[in-house]
A and B are shown apart, each in its own frame.
Chain A
């Protein structure tokens, strides 16, 4: 090696910087990149004038004969996979046919992306399907208030319509179990989930502080569903400690389906659609215990500043109408949020809303959002210990 002519100090400093750059360049994990998929164009010309009599209410028109400004393109963002496919078939395609609206889609719905779009003034999403942890007043800086002059708030399940969000589908956070690993017994609720003597084996758990972990621990410890909030976190953690070593955490639905499908876990906290898929699509011996399910939903929101605000509102009003809201449940067991909506009879037994009983629990989204930091800090401190 030839002796360098450069002063050692500069070389050393430069080398440190280069290594630091190298480090930063290589160490990223996967960063989800927004992808736009399938563009749905209307296959027929927009329907002509509504056939209903002129005296019909505006609301009826929104549900049965929606209209849109010519040349409208709406971008719909949801969570991809069979879920978004169900939404596409039940909502986007018929709506495109009826109104002439063209849909573009993103399969990477993320709260962070909404925030980034609004902050940078590059709002490209018009209608976004988000989870129950988003869309309350805490996020009002990045969302448009919904137009309840056309959305039928009175028909939506109580508590599932708020100024900036309206629920589009309902699902349950349920206890799913392997029928071949429970020794002929049926786990009756979360108490059995925590009973390692009666039901040995690992347990799947959603790795998210507001995803149900504390709620199910408290129910297992004897707290009544209606008395869950405010959550007694120390009590929940004490209960969780009793099965901590048997917990296998999953970061998203697909993983939960695989964990129970492979038999890696005997029971899991799961979204009912994923448990259904493990049983019906993957043909695995999986069953759902509906007792003490947490009934919750995904919500439609409209990012602040979208140029298609009015058209987005009309689509949301249409998709949450009684006639249309149960559409996706034909393809995936996620039920309607409109009280008057009638899912297909053969699909009813698999829907979370059809299995509501006295033991059903509900997330208090407002409390969870107001206390998000405290809950998350407690959760992180517990799980990393």
Chain B
């Protein structure tokens, strides 16, 4: 994960416009060069391709996308699945991060490792593991059937449930880590003070702790949501075609149909829509706080 480096703020020269920089900043140059050559340039070329392939395509590729029943449905699907995954991650991740915050440091370390261990194994491996667990002839259904609890296998896979389970598990660290980073910085004296002033624990939690943890909620939510939008393998393996996400369609255009103009247009559409979502989010939450949370992680 390309997290931001330590702030280059202190003891540094001040440039016009309020930017500050010091000579250590030059260390970022290779990264910037790399991004320009291998990311920004291809991105620009791809965007150009979306309006020049076939020649003089103009907005034809975009029109093709928006008149296609399947394309628009899959784009909507993508946001729907990303949103559910995000909510599930938050619901599971918040109590978990809170637990990490209140247990002794050693225990918190163990909890941290429990979150991180799956994070260190490949996304594909975890997705296939979920498949083995969830499928009709998988671990859960075989056990339940052999115990005589059910006669027909439960539908755990190749539906929205399977996709959400897989994606939430894969994305959970991206929710827990920013949450924990923010919660750790909340001074326990605040809630203690609230209690001293007569607030019952629930009220102290709700009116003091939760508002102070919101930057972490914002960071985790945004991160998980945006990452979820790009999922491709997991929904293909754990979902049915009804759970197809847009990245899969882009890959189909590029690899199967060889329509790179339309594929580029679809990629640009996903990027722009994601961008719009971020801009809208930035009106509600302060993205600076989001990155404040991330900086503490690095």
Contacts and interface: CB of A to CB of B under 8 A. Distances in A.
A12 B288 contact: yes
B113 interface: no
Contacts of B2: 21-22, 25
A111 B236 CA distance: 21
A377 B72 CA distance: 12
Which label, helix, strand, loop or mixed, suits the secondary structure of the B interface?
helix
B256 to A, nearest CB: 7
Contacts of B43: 24
Contacts of A208: 256
A71 interface: no
A381 interface: yes
A304 to B, nearest CB: 14
Nearest to A22: B2
A27 B282 contact: no
A224 B9 CA distance: 76
A5 B278 contact: no
A30 interface: yes
B70 A16 contact: no
B251 A381 contact: no
A2 B9 contact: yes
Contacts, number: 129
B290 to A, nearest CB: 7
B230 interface: yes
B39 A24 contact: yes
A23 B71 CA distance: 21
B271 A8 contact: no
B258 A26 contact: no
Contacts of B279: 16
Contacts of A202: 136
Interface residues on B, range: 35 or more
A2 B286 CA distance: 15
Interface residues of A, number: 46
B70 A26 contact: no
Contact of B18 (A7, A15, A115): A7
A207 interface: yes
A326 to B, nearest CB: 30
A12 B73 contact: no
Nearest to B40: A21
B274 A29 contact: no
Contacts of B230: 23-24, 26-28
Contacts of A11: 287-288
Contacts of A115: 258, 260
A259 to B, nearest CB: 9
A369 to B, nearest CB: 11
A151 B135 CA distance: 49
B205 interface: no
Interface string B265-279: 000000100110011
A4 B10 CA distance: 11
Interface of A: 1-2, 4-8, 11-12, 15-16, 18-30, 110-112, 115, 202, 207-208, 248-249, 251, 262-264, 372-373, 376-377, 380-381, 383-385
30 contacts: A4-B9, A5-B9, A6-B20, A12-B286, A15-B287, A16-B287, A18-B4, A19-B226, A20-B271, A20-B278, A23-B230, A25-B2, A25-B39, A26-B1, A27-B227, A27-B247, A29-B233, A30-B124, A111-B255, A249-B241, A262-B137, A263-B137, A264-B136, A264-B137, A373-B257, A380-B71, A380-B74, A381-B73, A383-B241, A384-B77
Interface of B: 1-2, 4, 9, 14, 17-20, 35, 39, 43, 68-71, 73-74, 77, 124, 135-137, 158, 222-223, 226-227, 229-233, 236, 240-242, 244, 247, 249, 251, 254-258, 260, 271, 274-275, 278-279, 282, 286-288, 290-292
Given A19-B222, A111-B258, A380-B74, 14 more contacts: A8-B288, A12-B287, A16-B282, A21-B39, A23-B226, A24-B43, A28-B232, A29-B247, A111-B255, A111-B256, A112-B254, A115-B260, A372-B257, A380-B68
